Amino acid sequence: MAKILYIEDISDNATLARKVLTARGHEFLWAETAESGLEMALAEHPDLILLDLGLPDVDGQTLSVWLRSEPELEHVPLVALTAWPEEVARKMVEAYNLDGYIGKPFNMHHLLKLISDLLAR
């Protein structure tokens, strides 16, 4: 089972993800802002990071740049969770070298499948 960090400012989304991911045996970490998310990622070395693109202090795209610039996080899979339209979300994933995205409101089945695929890589 994996250690998963979710960086998300909306607590209802985090609560839902916590419930589903801990039920599958994953360790769940939550940070509400980009800055605290970066700190937590550096301290906890998660196996995978779920990243809301609409964060209040720094947006998720810029945060992905922060995360990728840290050598110890360079290869940690990053998954965007976003309400952007599909076409824009796809461009973001490609441009920011993310490992995938899930549209909001997110479908838990799709999220779990993507997490499982990425962790198996």
Partner 1 sequence: MDIELIPAIKFTIDELTDLYNQTRVDYLVPMPMSANILGEYVHDFDVDLDHSYVARAAEDGQVLGLGMLGLRKGRSWVTRLGVLPSIRRGGTGGAIMDAMLGDSDRMGLPLSILEVIKNNTPAHTLFRKCGFVETGEYLVLRRAPRPLKETPPGEANWLDSTGALVLMDSYPEHLTWINEPASMYNATSLQGLTISLPSGGYGWMVYRYHKFRLSHFVLHTQRGDPHEVGRALLAHLHFKFPRQDAYAENVPEHDPHCPAFADLGYFEVFRRVEMIRKRPDPRS
Q: Indicate the residue type of 50.
A: L
Q: Which of 18, 47, 62, 100 binds partner 1 (CB under 8 A)?
A: 62
Task: Kindly write out the interface string for residues 80-119 of this chain, putting x where it contacts partner 1 by CB under 8 A and - elsewhere.
Answer: --xxx---x--xx--xxx----------------------
Count of residues touching partner 1 (by CB under 8 A): 24
> Minimum distance from CB of 44 to partner 1 (Å)?
21
- HEC letters along 58-92: CCHHHHHHHHHCCHHHCCCCEEEEECCCHHHHHHH
Q: Describe the crossing of helices 11-23 and 108-120 by its angle, rounded to 10 degrees.
A: 60
> Minimum distance from CB of 22 to partner 1 (Å)?
24
State the Cα–Cα distance between residues 19 and 49, nearest whole angstrom.
Answer: 16
Contacting positions for partner 1 (CB under 8 A): 9-10, 33, 53-59, 61-62, 65-66, 69, 82-84, 88, 91-92, 95-97
